[in-house]
Amino acid sequence: MREQPFSAMPRRLKALALLSSTALLLSACNAAVLNPAGDIAAQQRDIIYIATALMLLIIVPVIALIATFAWRYRKGSGATYDPNFDHSTVLELVIWSVPLLIIICLGALTWWSTHLLDPFRPLNRVSASKPIDPKVRPLVIQVISLDWKWLFIYPEQGVATVNEVVLPVDRPVRFDLTSTNMMNTFYAPTLAGMIYTMPGMRSTMHAVINRPGTFEGMSANYSGAGFSHMRFKLYGVDRAGFARWVGRVKVSGPALDTPRYLLLEQASERVPAMYFSTVDGDLFRRILQRCVKPGTPCSGGMHGGSAPEHGKPEGAIFKQGEEKSGGESVTPNPGTQTSAPAPHPHQDH
């Protein structure tokens, strides 16, 4: 039997086919952004809701007015038509003032959220109902994007993993991020926003997870053939569960030393979770300064070993009085001779 082409199908069948395909596509979507597990992601979701509601203040009335005018001024409706109309002060005020107020609100929301949710900024709360405990230090995790996998180093625990990261619930986390080869993007939608990783540079992101569960992270920046499968598992556990997990990792894998890292650095796809019971304490610095391979001279690395522990300094907008003019220039004047930096005590030669 000959198949009927889509163009020859009845209009109702076309509409049914389009609705079915749309429903199928939507059913495959994972609304992780709207189902946050961490406080930063929850605040970002709220901003999406607020911005959408503000924009709907224009969209909904406009759609309603389109239908109203189409019906009110249809042919034969008997509506009054004035071909000489050219101005209405009230109408002009409504047309221009309402969008202007919405733009002002969106601008204020953007400015406020940009500073409040700056990934370099340490957290000031664990959740909306729980303030930060000043006695609890953030858990430090060093993140390296490789081709095409993620390496997570826990310097305080002395362990490392590939494509798996475990976080204790309600404990602040500070991610220090860099890349080995090309620019990438670290993105855990249920935890926080995305942040770029770049070779020779260190980024910082503060976050917290507020409920246990299994979530997914990914690369959100195209970086080559294996980009599509550059994903990792994110687990939220209680503090006792985190301690047990660290204990299992310490007895379940080899040591992550320089030779093993150089093997790991080679491009590979669809890499399963890997565990390393110990890790070279200086490995992240050498990755950042691009001198892991023996005999390679170390570069300075922006935000390298001398970067402040809690990220970038406050901008001038948060300073007062003389604080704004007290910064020291780090850029030499043209023609000035600068001395070479002293080698790091652990630098390879």
Query: What CATH number has the domain bearing residue 274?
Result: 2.60.40.420
Joined tokens for residue 165: 């990261």
pLDDT at 168 over 90: yes
- pLDDT of the residue at 318: 43
Q: Is residue 97 situated within a structural domain?
A: no
340 versus 208: the higher-pLDDT residue is: 208
Grade residue 331 by pLDDT with cuts at 50, 70 and 90.
very low
Q: Is residue 131 situated within a structural domain?
A: yes
189 vs 180: CA distance, rounded Å: 23
Joined tokens for residue 64: 């309603």
For the four alpha carbons of 291, 221, 218 and 190, in that order, the dihedral sign comes to positive
Q: Is residue 8 situated within a structural domain?
A: no
* pLDDT tens for each residue of 233-260: 999 999 999 999 999 999 988 999 999 9
Identify the CA nearest to 199 among candidates 146, 155, 163, 151.
146
- pLDDT of the residue at 83: 81
265 versus 94: the higher-pLDDT residue is: 265
- pLDDT of the residue at 154: 97
Q: Is residue 224 situated within a structural domain?
A: yes
Joined tokens for residue 327: 């910064």
Question: Is the distance from CB of 164 to CB of 273 less than 8 angstroms?
Answer: yes
If one counts the domains in the chain, the total is 1
Q: Is residue 329 situated within a structural domain?
A: no
290 vs 297: CA distance, rounded Å: 8
Amino acid 44 reads: Q
Q: Is residue 175 situated within a structural domain?
A: yes
Burial of residue 192 (number of CB atoms within 10 Å: 0-12, 13-18, 19+): buried
What beta strand segments (E) does the chain contain? Answer: 125-127, 130-131, 139-146, 149-154, 159-162, 164-168, 173-179, 184-187, 194-197, 203-207, 213-219, 231-237, 255-256, 274-276, 278-279
Q: Is residue 229 situated within a structural domain?
A: yes
**Residue 266 CB contacts under 8 Å (≥ 6 apart), including other chains:** 147
Q: Is residue 230 situated within a structural domain?
A: yes
- What is the domain extent for residue 264? 125-305
Neighbours of 280 (CB within 10 A): 20
- The torsion angle over the Cα atoms of residues 130, 136, 138 and 140, rounded to 10 degrees, is -150
* pLDDT tens for each residue of 178-213: 999 889 999 999 999 899 999 999 999 999 999 999
Phi-psi label, residue 335: left if phi above 0, alpha if psi -120 to 50, beta otherwise: left
Question: Is the distance from CB of 321 to CB of 299 less than 8 angstroms?
Answer: no
